[in-house]
Amino acid sequence: MTARVVLATRNVGKIAEVRRILASYDVELVGLDAYPELADVVEDGESFTDNARLKARVVAQQTGLVAVADDSGLTVDSLNGMPGILSARWSGRHGDDAANLALVLAQIADLPDSRRGAAFVCAAAAVAPDDREVVVEEAVVGTLLREPRGSNGFGYDPIFVPAGETRTTAEMSAAEKDAISHRGKAFRALASRLAELL
């Protein structure tokens, strides 16, 4: 029997990506768009894991279903790990991908290629209505380009080149990106343990 699981986001790009990643698992994934009456959860944790756990717990309590959530972002070595948990609102406006990307590029504009290391990090949490939980964190390391390339993906994908690759994650197909991405790795690890909560 297929279990309904709520993904604690309204981000259509993220919903589509997580649906692809979990396609081979026996779950019906719905986003918060299926629950328009629910308010967005304030992400005020101090880490990716804090925020993922917080969102999943609140949505599980509000819906009575197992909820999954992630918090993910870009950590730039030369910026002491920032934008980190502030990735989606680095420019001051939540979800303004173009402004966020432009600001990071401006902040590292004078750095040589050897100091442009970065990672995408994803913490994913699943929480049952009775507060049982599973949390995992995964990352993919790489470097940042000087100019965006590619039109797939979202966020910082057009400037991030994973280690061992020559293409940005925005130049990869959805399947190629999902196979190596921080979110792909985290949600596959989480999905393999979802049965513990269902």
Cross-strand bridge partners of residue 151: none
Binning the chain into helix, strand and coil, the percentages to the nearest 5 are 40, 25, 40
Contact 94, 103 (CB under 8 A): no
The pairs formed by 106-110 with CB atoms below 8 angstroms and a separation of 24 or more are 107/76, 107/79, 108/76, 108/78, 108/79, 108/144, 109/146
Assess whether 44 carries a catalytic annotation. Answer: no
**What is the rounded distance in angstroms from the CA atom of residue 138 to the CA atom of residue 59?**
22
Active-site residue, selected from the candidate residues 71, 96, 97, 131: 71
CA dihedral 104, 110, 116, 118 (to 10 degrees): -20
**What is the rounded distance in angstroms from the CA atom of residue 67 to the CA atom of residue 34?**
13
The type of residue at 148 is P
Which residues belong to the active site? 71
